[in-house]
Chain A
Amino acid sequence: MTQPDLVHVDTVRKNYAGPAGEVTVLKGVSLHVRAGEFVGVRGPSGSGKSTLINMITGIDRPTSGAITIAGTRIDQMSENTLARYRGLKIGVIFQFFQLLPTLTVLENTMLPMEFCRVWKPRERGERAYMLLEQVGLTDQAHKLPNTLSGGQQQRAAIARALANDPPLLVGDEPTGNLDSRTADRVFQLFADLVAQGKTFIMVTHDNELAARIPRVIQVQDGVLLEGQEHHVSERATGPLHLGPNGHSAVTDLHLNGRAEHVPQTAAQ
């Protein structure tokens, strides 16, 4: 319990300028994630899930409030400091994989090491190879991304996210563009990573997957709801078990049943 939070979102507001004036997407939300936690983020389309995730990765800045990652405030960092910090501490996984199309899988994996100048140049290839082994892609290492299947590309993207050995991994619907079998395999990879000590925050629409995440946050009307109890940003009471039978996951499933009735709009 004395262990500090890895992620600390403190009363964060986020306004966007819309056509009809300011729109508040996040209404002063707080969230604490401890090292080693596996957190799911759910909510209807347009509820602000991506906005929340972008706050945590530093891709976007809050209107007010504070974001602290591993004890460091990131919301006031300069672009460059943030880029470097993110490169070292946060692995970001996108829905559309976002591998650089002209680099091979191996090279994509090595690129963050090169940018952040971690590991000696000679060691980088070896390490990237090891990471690809971990995601089961060694046989595809020298292929270009667009020759791979979606699942393979996402596994390559995971290897890339792990390149600099960041403590925190964040994914915005990382399985959203995969068929359910592939999604399942990729999810298992996430679970393995958490088991190895990584902290993982992911947005998902998938009920079955969400059911397997020990802690699920519900985003609705700009506030965060934790599990069944409609606590806003209450600190979780302890490490939750992995697997589909976790308590909060079950209640979450129930909640999610309602969420699914919200009509899906075109955008993610």
Chain B
Amino acid sequence: MGIAFRKVWRDMRNNLGRTALVVASIAIGVLALGLIVSGRTLMARQMMVSQAESHPTTLRLSVGPAIDDATLRMIRRQPGVEGARGVIFSGIRWKPSLEAAWTDATLTAIDDYTDQTYDLITLREGGWPATGRVAIEHSHVAPYAVPPVGGTLFFEVNGRAKPMTLAGVVRDPREIGPPFTSQPTFYVTRNTLVSLGLSDRFNSLQVAVADFSQERAEAVQHQLTDRLETLGVGVNDSEITAPDRHFLQDVMDGVTMILTVMALLSLGMSTILVINTINAILAQQVPQIGIMKTIGGLRGQITGLYLAGVIIYGLLSLMLAMPIGAFGGWALARWLMALINVTVSDFEVLPSTLGIQFVTGLVVPVLAAFWPIVQGSAISVREAVSQYGLGTGNYGSRWIDRVLARVQGLPRTWSMALRNTFRRMSRAALTEVTLIGAGVIFMMVISAQHSFETTLATIFRGFGYDVILGFSTWQRIDRVTPLLEAQPNVDRVELWQFANAQTRLPDDPDTVADRELLVRGIPRDTQLFTPELTAGRPLLPEDDRALLLNQDLAGEMGVGIGQRIQLDFGDGTAQEWTVVGLIYDLAGRGRTAYLYRDTLARDLGFVGRGSVAEIRLQTNSLEAQLAAEAQLREALEDQGISVSFTRTQLLTREEAGAQFSILTSLLLIMTGLIGLVGAIGLSGTLSINVLERRREIGVMRAVGASSLDIGVVFMGEGLLLGVASWLASVPLAVVAGQWFVSNLNETIDFNGAYYFAEHSVWIWLGIVVSLSLLASWLPARRAAAISVRESLAYE
């Protein structure tokens, strides 16, 4: 293939722009594939490694009242229990310096940091906590401006600032940083807890189930719950996770799904681009193919020649796509894993990914180009060498040409743009497919984001509070309400009752496990609770033992509207309540029920008291909410009312949306990539059109067309293609968005609704118009620069 091959090589070198176009088209698909495959591989591996290295427990119980060491030892001896660790979680207020304001922090303590068996907390820097010395989770250092190791920070003890030394930085496999969490976690010894005036009894149990299976874990869960109950210890919350499943696996599955869709789409679109460009190149090469056939070239030789060219394109694009893909995949994995506190080691090249890229980078373009090349090389010599004069000789023979010829009243240049657009039907069609694809993805992505946001907004609209304060002990409503109402900027105060209950179906009280239920008792005249109902009706004034149940839990329990469930508030007597409505609720990990406070109060024996204050403010902003949070807390504590937790609506909402933020960032990257493919496609089509119509442009020039006229012909064509694709993509996006959002929701186990983002339609129109003008500007300018002599010269 000596000389013929030289021809192929030089054709590429002489058309650097076009070569770059093909190489970029292939590279984008192969790059996306490599990035995603290596990212996925690294993430899956690292999550598994990290999970295994931490020696994960599989059952977690949150208990109250807290238990002592003897009870823990008893738990360890239970059948089916391989081992157990007691943990103490506690809340405290801290600040990094004396001048700073108090904010919430979590304290975590275990018995012995130097002798751990499960959920291993590892030391990253400095030393382990000791009396008066604390450690911090490493992913919380930067976000919360924690002082460096050896520095001093302050805990609030009895209203005073108690200095503590930061002994070290640790990694806790069960912790993650913002945006999933909103306060830092400090690690202390049990002694330190006592010195802070806190309990050193365990309020959480982390249990390793021997020979894990879901059934065995559930059996152990019931057995331990029963055993603890005989000791008067309630289980407030319990959770089972498979040892090989990271606790954020759902989110990561969503990420993987998006990445896969992304890889396939990019690959598909880049294939289309390759087909389009190769087609155009061959169209230009037709006379040369004819000449080669005339001087003895066989069809096979010519096919081989152009396929060799395609392989060169493939190799060139691999030179781009392989390194960037490998590095990008690693960076992606590192970024995503850092969000969930999993370490990704130093950059490494995954040979398997490179292999996949290599094969794809060669096979996809060859497959894409194969048919065009076989077709192109089949052209008869007579056809090939008799192409002279203007056009391809058959313009006007198709119906579309005749229809377009009847379009009257447009300026000459515009009607030329219109007719030219449809001259190369299949090329225009493929470009449209690319652009429509880009549009659909864009609107789909924005709609996914919009759906998440709207779902969250709908949920939060149902909860009218701006600030919530929880009390450590039950408070009298008639005392606390006026106290809070007297504070500035407070619009409304409602005292609610939060309580935990065990729930079961009345007909089979023993078989299925009791479920934890977080019960919220609301005032009958509430204005801060108008949730979105997914079924049934709201609570009505005449209701007695009626409740609204979280729809996820209802689904899990198999309970419908009008059915009864039993609630046991820990006193051993179960009452039956009727489910009247189902609601969306993100709070309490989907285990909430809402009912009337006075009815609940009767069952609990706390008539006239509340445990949580829900407050609506007059003026509302994040600053106002934060200010009110601090000020109301102070007002309560001044009256000797201890506050166990506070919450602001805006921060809670942000936290709830955090898991989506990973997804939406990824989605945006995806959109950018796809938009790029679309732009390359459009620009490619138009510049190929310019090349093909050089002669025609020369004739237009010769008969007096200005550069502007020629520019309009080409920019008009670009604009037409862009706007047409926009029209086609809107209905497709509505449908595709629905599919995408429901799949995404299923993957991340989120019960969100689908809302099509109408604004995305107009944004995309803006983008596609700018893109079209931009992509056609260069070709148009090149067209306008063609001189008469140059364009009429024969090659």
Interface residues of A (CB under 8 A from B): 54, 57, 59-60, 79-80, 83-84, 86-88, 92, 94, 96, 98, 100-103, 107, 110-112, 114-116, 121, 146, 160-161, 163-164, 266-268
Contact = CB atoms under 8 A, between A and B. Distances in A.
Q: Ordered nearest first, which 3 A-B pairs have the shortest CB separation?
A: A87-B296, A102-B10, A112-B295
B296 A94 contact: no
A122 B295 CA distance: 20
Interface stretch (B1-9, B157-165, B357-365): B1-9
Contacts of A160: 295
A84 B300 CA distance: 12
Nearest to B287: A98
Given A54-B382, A59-B381, A94-B385, A100 B7 contact: yes
B295 A92 contact: yes
B192 to A, nearest CB: 79
Contacts of B2: 114, 121
Nearest to A163: B295
A79 B10 CA distance: 28
A246 to B, nearest CB: 31
A102 B296 contact: no
Nearest to A79: B299
B186 to A, nearest CB: 71
Contacts of A163: 295
A59 B296 contact: no
Given A98-B291, A111-B3, A164 B382 contact: no
Interface in B556-603: none
A103 to B, nearest CB: 5
A80 B299 CA distance: 7
B11 A59 contact: no
B297 interface: yes
Contacts of B288: 100-101
**Residue from B2, B287, B294, B382 whose CB has the most chain A CB atoms within 10 Å:** B294
Interface in B280-306: 287-288, 291-301
A226 to B, nearest CB: 26
Contacts of A112: 295-296
Interface of B: 2-4, 6-7, 10-11, 14, 287-288, 291-301, 380-382, 385, 388-389, 794-795
Contacts of B389: 266-267
A181 B380 CA distance: 35
Given A94-B385, A100-B291, A146-B795, A83 B3 contact: no
A228 B119 CA distance: 109
Contacts of B381: 59, 83
**Residue from A84, A88, A102, A112 whose CB has the most chain B CB atoms within 10 Å:** A102
A157 to B, nearest CB: 10
Which applies to chain A's interface (DSSP): helix, strand, loop or mixed? helix
Contact of A103 (B6, B293, B299, B382): B6
A115 B297 contact: yes
B7 A102 contact: yes
B99 to A, nearest CB: 74
A89 to B, nearest CB: 10
Contacts of B298: 80, 83-84, 115
A84 B293 CA distance: 8
Contact of B14 (A80, A102, A268): A102
B795 A115 contact: no
Given A79-B299, A94-B291, A102-B11, 15 more contacts: A59-B385, A60-B380, A80-B299, A80-B300, A83-B293, A83-B299, A83-B381, A98-B294, A101-B288, A103-B6, A103-B10, A110-B3, A111-B3, A114-B3, A268-B388
Contact of B296 (A79, A88, A100, A121): A88
A79 B287 CA distance: 17
Given A103-B10, A121-B2, A111 B382 contact: no
Contacts of A88: 296
Given A107-B3, A107-B6, A59 B295 contact: no
Given A98-B287, A111-B292, A103 B297 contact: no
A107 B8 CA distance: 13
Nearest to B11: A102
Contacts of B6: 102-103, 107
Contacts of A102: 6-7, 10-11, 14
Contacts of B794: 96
A102 B13 CA distance: 10
Nearest to A92: B294
18 contacts: A59-B294, A83-B296, A83-B381, A84-B296, A86-B294, A87-B295, A87-B297, A92-B295, A98-B385, A101-B795, A111-B4, A111-B295, A112-B295, A115-B298, A116-B296, A163-B295, A164-B296, A268-B388
A87 B381 CA distance: 13
Contacts of B294: 57, 59, 83, 86, 92, 98
A70 to B, nearest CB: 16
Given A60-B382, A96-B794, A103-B10, A114 B299 contact: no
Contacts of B296: 83-84, 86-88, 112, 115-116, 164
A88 B4 CA distance: 17
Nearest to B795: A101
A94 B388 CA distance: 13
Contact of B382 (A59, A84, A101): A59
A88 B297 CA distance: 11
Contacts of A92: 294-295
A229 to B, nearest CB: 32
Nearest to B12: A102
B286 to A, nearest CB: 12
B3 A103 contact: yes
Contacts of A121: 2
B385 A115 contact: no
B123 to A, nearest CB: 66
Contacts of B287: 98
**Residue from A54, A83, A101, A146 whose CB has the most chain B CB atoms within 10 Å:** A83
Contacts of B11: 102
B18 to A, nearest CB: 13
Contacts of A86: 294-296
